[in-house]
Structure 1
Amino acid sequence: MFQPSLLSRSVTLAIAGLAGSSAMAEQVAADDQPHSLQLDAVSVTASEGATKTETPFLETPQTVSVISPDDWESQGARSVQQAARYSPGVGTNQVGASNRYDYLILRGFSDGSINNTYLDGLRVMNDGGSYSSFVIDPWFLDRVELVKGPASVLYGQGSPGGLVALSSKQPEFERSGEVRLTTGSHQQGSLAFDLTGPVDDDHAFAYRLTGLASGADGQQDFVKEERYAIAPSITGYLTDDTSLTVLAYLQHEPEGGYHSGLPYEGTVEPRNGQTIDNTFFEGEPGYDRFERDTTLLGYDLEHSFTDNWTVRQKARYLSAEVSLAQVYAYGWANDTELTRYYSGGDEQLQAVTLDNQVQADLRTGPVEHRVLVGVDYQQRDNEVVWSSGVFPNIDAFDPDYGAEPSAMYPAVRNERELRQTGLYLQDQLALGGWHLTVGGRHDWVAINNTNKDTDVVAQLDDTQFSGRAGLVYAFESGVAPYASYSTSFSPSAYTDEGGDLLAPSQGRQIEAGVKVQPTGSQDQYSLSLFRIHQEDLATKLPQESFYRSIGEMRSQGVELEARSQLTDQLKVQASYAYTDVTFEQSEPYREGKTASQVPRHQLNVWADYRFGRGLLEGGEVGLGVRHAADIYADDANTKKVPDYTLLDLTVGYDFGALGANGLTSRVTVNNLLDESYVASCYNSLDFCYFGAERTITAAVSYAF
Structure 2
Amino acid sequence: MFRHSRLSFAVAVALIGVTGAPLTVAQGQGEPTMLDALNVTATRSATKTDTPVIETPQSVSVISREDWEEKGARTVQRAASYTPGVGTNQVGSSNRYDYLILRGFSDGSINNTYLDGLRVMNDGGSYSSFAIDPWFLERIEIVKGPTSVLYGQGSPGGIVALTSKRPEFRDGGEIRVSLGNNAQRSFAFDVTGPVDDEQRVAYRVTGIASAADAQQDHVELDRRAIAPSLTWDMTDDTSVTLLAYLQRDPEGGYHSGLPYEGTVESRNGQKIDNTFFEGEPDYDLFRRDMTMVGYDLEHRINRNWSALQKARYLDSDVELKQVYAYGWASATELNRYYSGGEEDLQALTVDNQVQGEVTTGAVDHTVLVGVDYQQRENDVVWPSGAFPAIDAFSPEYGAEPTALYPPQRNLRKQKQTGVYLQDQLATGGWRLTLGGRHDWVEIENTNRDSGVVAELDETQFSGRAGLLYLFDNGIAPYVSYSTSFSPSAYTDESGDLLDPSEGKQIETGLRYQPVGTTDLYTLSLFRIHQENLATKLPQESFYRSIGEIESQGVELEAKAQLTENLNVQAGYAFTDVTFEKSEAYREGNTASQVPEHQLTLWAGYRFSQGVLSGANAGLGVRHIADIYADDANTKKVPDYTLVDLALGYDFSKLGLEGVSTRLNVNNLLDKEYVASCYNSLDFCYFGAERNVTASVSYRF
Deviations 1:174-217 (A, max 9, x none): 11010000001000000000000001111000000000000000
How far has the Cα of 1:114 moved from its partner?
A: 1.3
> Identity of aligned pairs, percent?
72
Match of 1:681 among 677, 684, 688: 677
Query: TM-score scaled to structure 2, two decimals?
Result: 0.95
User: Which position in structure 2 is the counterpart of 1:11?
Assistant: none
How far has the Cα of 1:111 moved from its partner?
A: 3.4
Match of 2:597 among 595, 601, 604: 601
How far has the Cα of 1:676 moved from its partner?
A: 0.3
User: Which position in structure 2 is the counterpart of 1:67?
Assistant: 63
User: Which position in structure 1 is the counterpart of 2:179?
Assistant: 183
Contact 2:382 2:409 in 1 (8 A): yes
Deviations 1:611-655 (A, max 9, x none): 010000001111000000000000000000000000000110001
Deviations 1:555-609 (A, max 9, x none): 0000000000011111100000000000000000000000000000000000001
2-side partners of 1:651 and 1:168: how far apart? 27
Contact 2:98 2:131 in 1 (8 A): yes
Contact 2:120 2:312 in 1 (8 A): no
Worse overlay, 111-120 or 241-250:
111-120
Contact 2:150 2:437 in 1 (8 A): yes
User: Which position in structure 2 is the counterpart of 1:385?
Assistant: 381
TM alignment of 1:108-257, pairs within 5 A: 108-257=104-253
How far has the Cα of 1:432 moved from its partner?
A: 0.7
Match of 2:653 among 639, 657, 675: 657
Match of 1:469 among 426, 441, 465: 465
User: Which position in structure 2 is the counterpart of 1:367?
Assistant: 363
How far has the Cα of 1:350 moved from its partner?
A: 0.2
Contact 1:113 1:164 in 2 (8 A): no
User: Which position in structure 2 is the counterpart of 1:512?
Assistant: 508
How far has the Cα of 1:113 moved from its partner?
A: 3.9
User: Which position in structure 2 is the counterpart of 1:83?
Assistant: 79
2-side partners of 1:81 and 1:74: how far apart? 15
Contact 2:485 2:503 in 1 (8 A): yes
Q: Which amino acid aligns with 1:347?
A: E
2-side partners of 1:33 and 1:700: how far apart? 32
User: Which position in structure 2 is the counterpart of 1:7?
Assistant: none
Match of 1:440 among 436, 443, 447: 436
1-side partners of 2:301 and 2:323: how far apart? 58
Q: Which amino acid aligns with 1:410?
A: P
Contact 2:120 2:348 in 1 (8 A): no
Q: Which amino acid aligns with 2:139?
A: R
User: Which position in structure 2 is the counterpart of 1:690?
Assistant: 686
**Alignment partner of 1:626 is 2:609:** no
User: Which position in structure 1 is the counterpart of 2:47?
Assistant: 51
User: Which position in structure 1 is the counterpart of 2:310?
Assistant: 314
**Alignment partner of 1:338 is 2:330:** no
**Alignment partner of 1:283 is 2:242:** no
3-state SS, counterpart of residue 665 of structure 1: strand
How far has the Cα of 1:361 moved from its partner?
A: 0.5
How far has the Cα of 1:656 moved from its partner?
A: 1.1
2-side partners of 1:65 and 1:445: how far apart? 30
Q: 1:638 to 1:258 in 2, by over 3 A?
A: same
Contact 2:86 2:101 in 1 (8 A): yes
Contact 2:141 2:162 in 1 (8 A): yes
Deviations 1:635-690 (A, max 9, x none): 00000000000000011000111111110000000000000000000011000000
How far has the Cα of 1:117 moved from its partner?
A: 1.0
Q: Which amino acid aligns with 2:215?
A: Q
2-side partners of 1:425 and 1:360: how far apart? 12
2-side partners of 1:114 and 1:504: how far apart? 18
Deviations 1:458-494 (A, max 9, x none): 1111000000000110011111000000000001111
3-state SS, counterpart of residue 124 of structure 2: coil
2-side partners of 1:106 and 1:193: how far apart? 32
TM alignment of 1:295-306, pairs within 5 A: 295-306=291-302
Q: Which amino acid aligns with 2:466?
A: G
Contact 1:22 1:53 in 2 (8 A): no
1-side partners of 2:8 and 2:465: how far apart? 20
2-side partners of 1:583 and 1:181: how far apart? 47
Match of 1:565 among 557, 561, 564: 561
TM alignment of 1:345-494, pairs within 5 A: 345-494=341-490
User: Which position in structure 2 is the counterpart of 1:17?
Assistant: none
Contact 1:198 1:207 in 2 (8 A): yes
Contact 1:112 1:160 in 2 (8 A): no
Contact 1:172 1:198 in 2 (8 A): yes
Count of paired positions: 678
Residue ranges of structure 2 left out of the alignment (5+ in a row): 1-6, 15-25
User: Which position in structure 1 is the counterpart of 2:542?
Assistant: 546
Contact 2:39 2:519 in 1 (8 A): no
Q: Which amino acid aligns with 2:185?
A: G
How far has the Cα of 1:124 moved from its partner?
A: 2.2
2-side partners of 1:277 and 1:162: how far apart? 35
Q: 1:417 to 1:21 in 2, by over 3 A?
A: farther
TM alignment of 1:16-55, pairs within 5 A: 44-55=40-51
How far has the Cα of 1:33 moved from its partner?
A: 5.2
Query: TM-score scaled to structure 1, two decimals?
Result: 0.95
1-side partners of 2:696 and 2:456: how far apart? 52
Deviations 1:11-68 (A, max 9, x none): xxxxxxxxx9999xx99xxx9859xxx9x99951101111001100111000101001
3-state SS, counterpart of residue 283 of structure 2: coil
Q: 1:148 to 1:22 in 2, by over 3 A?
A: farther
2-side partners of 1:76 and 1:510: how far apart? 35
2-side partners of 1:526 and 1:125: how far apart? 30
Aligned-residue CA RMSD in angstroms? 1.8
1-side partners of 2:127 and 2:119: how far apart? 17
Q: Which amino acid aligns with 1:333?
A: A
Residue ranges of structure 1 left out of the alignment (5+ in a row): 1-19
Contact 1:346 1:385 in 2 (8 A): yes
2-side partners of 1:42 and 1:608: how far apart? 15
3-state SS, counterpart of residue 211 of structure 1: strand
Contact 1:21 1:53 in 2 (8 A): no
2-side partners of 1:125 and 1:100: how far apart? 13
1-side partners of 2:8 and 2:654: how far apart? 41
**Alignment partner of 1:260 is 2:256:** yes
Match of 1:635 among 606, 621, 631: 631
Contact 2:180 2:692 in 1 (8 A): yes
Contact 1:46 1:54 in 2 (8 A): yes
2-side partners of 1:346 and 1:33: how far apart? 51
How far has the Cα of 1:236 moved from its partner?
A: 1.7
Q: Which amino acid aligns with 1:422?
A: G
Q: 1:595 to 1:77 in 2, by over 3 A?
A: same
